Amino acid sequence: MAIIKTNARSASALDATILSGNLPSISGASLTGLTDNGKILKVTYANPSNYSTTLGYSDTSLTPCASIAVTTVGLNSHFLIKWSAVHGRNGNGRSQFLMAKSYTAGQNNYANSNYLFYDHYGVYFENATNLKTTSSYSYYDSGSTLAIGATQTYYVFLGQIGSGTSDEANSQRLQVMEIAQ
């Protein structure tokens, strides 16, 4: 392959000299300081159906109000999970919010401390009959050691604490950003 060398002597004159020979080979291993850490590799999202439950947060029959499966494109990636919805409560009391990356039907993620994030006051309502408020929770999961092509599922749970008749989530959106490490 020929190498062209150009030298601009003035604005009107250009001297081009053609050199012959091969370029030296460069190994990728010798390149340093290049990294993709922190880059968003993939965004996965879902719009789960509206959800309503009359079950308490510790009931073993409680099912997720939302879930999303993510197939990884990077090695040992981190994940930013965001859930948003119109979170509602019928009756006084509190509504818990719990985010987990595992779920087994008939088991209680809260009692088993099997969760990423938990808030005992997901929605707190007193002296009224019905509340609907826009809610959003985010969690940064840096504890994954997944291979490329592995699947991770994230779950969101709502459940009542105290008196009340139901908890609900309408217009849900669940989004996961996979971040290179």
Task: Please report the pLDDT score of residue 164 as a whole number.
Answer: 66
What average pLDDT does range 140-144 have in this prediction? 91
| Residue 4: inside a domain | no
Q: Is 31 part of any domain?
A: no
Percent share of the chain, pLDDT over 90: 49
Give how far the C-alpha of residue 172 lies from the chain's centroid of Cα atoms, to the nearest Å.
15
The domain in which residue 134 lies consists of 40-179
pLDDT exceeds cutoff 60 at 77: yes
The answer as to whether 6 is a domain residue is no
- What per-residue confidence (pLDDT) applies to 131? 78
Q: Are 158 and 53 in contact (CB under 8 A)?
A: yes
State mean pLDDT over 144-171.
Answer: 89
Spatial distance between the Cα atoms of 52 and 77, rounded to a whole number of angstroms:
33
Look up the CATH number of the domain holding residue 65: 2.60.120
Mean pLDDT over 46-69 rounds to: 94
Q: What is the mean pLDDT of residues 38-59?
A: 93
**CA-based nearest residue to 100, from 134, 63, 52:** 63
Q: What is the mean pLDDT of the chain?
A: 83
The answer as to whether 97 is a domain residue is yes
Across the range 25-36, mean pLDDT stands at 60
The verdict on residue 11 lying in a domain is no
pLDDT at 9: 54
Mean pLDDT of the 90-97 span: 81
Domain count across the chain: 1
Place of tokens 């969690």: 139
Q: Which residue has the higher pLDDT, 88 or 49?
A: 49
3-class DSSP assignment, residue 28: helix
